[in-house]
Homo-oligomer: A and B are copies of this chain.
């Protein structure tokens, strides 16, 4: 198409609210327009990119026997009540009533709809395994949309659901999908995406992986071992802390620690290393308001997800009011009524701890948990630290990186099929519940992620596979009759050769033409100009500047066709 007919505006200035490059560059390039927080319209440039991503995903899903379906955006609450999620999910799930006062929800994921669609179909074991997927709009009422298309409220998602008669079969298919995901990210231009073990969160089930694109601007923390292939989301990574026991057990002493507000203050004041201290982190159960206190070594942080999974309920950081018997800031192990006491493994084996004495401005020293509090069970509640011990190779070689989650896969078990009464008769005539896997990719986030790691200061550098066009034809000096006529003819030939081309023949300065082309990020650029005409050639360059060549005018189409094939990889 002609550049001058392309709707959307391009800007020189970075938008004030853009804190990451993909957001800034895609706004500057007129890829989308925000309607309200976390909700965007897509212009034709972005829509062309998302179409190509969708098609890559579709091909890879079809290649692992996926069958494309379409589930509704709006579903009756009754369906979500069957699975229990109508009540268990918070206000990211939009709930409303229809004209007949029936409660409805907006689909933020479609396990319930998937089970509904195949509940009767899957009644005998011979139908298994099968996988169904859709590419459809999702709405999640995120509390804090951010980063342009990275975290939004409405987005296009490919969500797939597989059904199996055994855990073993699920695992076989899960691995197939894992490989398909690797291919999708590679084809979309993100071969560096890694898969990390993750927490399955609200989805239920046990085994889950996230596909992470490592970038400093990512909002997820990922633990990676530099000595082996271990990797996990920080939320799911096991923390291993070993303590050497000190020999001499000291007596318990209550000491006055005025103005010591933090664990560092206390340790400084008492001249003790932080790893000799025991910190209390307090949470509250959402439903009951009951407190749960996690004791952890003073130098470590608590991992809220691990605590939530242990308690099997929703929690939030505690608000300790004046009526509570908990003495905020000076909390130590003690038996309070209706308070759960949890101990992190990092405290195991440390003698003579310093900890709160449950009295304002007082701490204990020489606290030995078993002697002074009692026998306790230790669990892993800590966040992994830089240079922590790898749970796989046992070296102190864990590194923490930031990443964007570009996809995820979950083994769901029979959580949904059991809750929603989807069963089948096995070959012994017994009634069984199928096990499920689910597999998601956010389309717009994937596009933005590619931009995040494939750009320069002038704009995105789209890989050929998802670029909005394959070729950007620039006629520099459209006022020059000869150049314009040649470019017009080239445009025609490129179209006839079925090459996706955007043609800029505006009578504007070359600088404007090129900076706009940079913002569109089309991989191959052809430059027609009077100077080139004089030499009977065109310049052909790539957006990533790897190639900068001249082509004899008569060979342009053939040369470009060859480049397209090469750049498709």
Q: Interface on A for B, CB 8 Å cutoff? A: 1, 5-9, 33, 35-36, 39-44, 46-48, 50-51, 65, 67-76, 78-79, 91-92, 94-96, 98-99, 102, 106, 113, 116-118, 120-121, 127, 130, 132, 134, 136-137, 139, 141, 143, 153-154, 156
Contact A5 B65 (CB under 8 A): yes
| Residues from chain B with Cβ under 8 Å of A39 in the complex | 72, 74-76
A–B pairs, 17, beta carbons within 8 Å: A1-B67, A5-B130, A6-B67, A7-B67, A7-B117, A7-B118, A7-B121, A33-B117, A35-B72, A41-B72, A44-B69, A46-B70, A47-B69, A47-B134, A73-B73, A95-B96, A99-B141
Closest to A62 in B: B1
Give Cα distance in the complex from A121 to B67, angstroms. 40
**Known A5-B130, A35-B79; further 14 A-B contacts with Cβ < 8 A:** A7-B67, A7-B127, A33-B117, A36-B76, A39-B72, A39-B74, A41-B116, A43-B117, A44-B68, A44-B69, A50-B70, A74-B153, A96-B96, A136-B137
Closest to A135 in B: B47
Give Cα distance in the complex from A429 to B40, angstroms. 32
CB distance from A139 to the nearest CB of B (A): 5
Give Cα distance in the complex from A65 to B117, angstroms. 38
Q: With A69-B44, A69-B47, A137-B137 in contact, do A94 and B91 touch (Cβ < 8 Å)?
A: no
Give Cα distance in the complex from A134 to B51, angstroms. 12
The complex is assembled from copies of this chain, and their number is 2
| Most chain B CB neighbours (cut-off 10 Å) among A68, A76, A113 | A68
Contact B70 A42 (CB under 8 A): yes
The 8 Å CB contact of A98, one of B76, B78, B141, B156, is B141
Give Cα distance in the complex from A259 to B136, angstroms. 61
Contact B116 A33 (CB under 8 A): yes
CB distance from A443 to the nearest CB of B (A): 10
| Residues from chain B with Cβ under 8 Å of A156 in the complex | 70
Give Cα distance in the complex from A95 to B94, angstroms. 11
| Residues from chain B with Cβ under 8 Å of A65 in the complex | 5
Give Cα distance in the complex from A132 to B42, angstroms. 11
| Most chain B CB neighbours (cut-off 10 Å) among A9, A106, A127 | A106
Contact B42 A69 (CB under 8 A): yes
Give Cα distance in the complex from A47 to B67, angstroms. 9
CB distance from A255 to the nearest CB of B (A): 47
Contact A72 B154 (CB under 8 A): yes
| Residues from chain B with Cβ under 8 Å of A50 in the complex | 70
CB distance from A143 to the nearest CB of B (A): 7
Closest 10 CB pairs of A and B: A96-B96, A42-B70, A44-B67, A36-B76, A91-B99, A41-B117, A99-B141, A39-B72, A47-B68, A41-B71
Contact B70 A35 (CB under 8 A): no
Give Cα distance in the complex from A385 to B139, angstroms. 48
The 8 Å CB contact of A102, one of B36, B51, B73, is B36
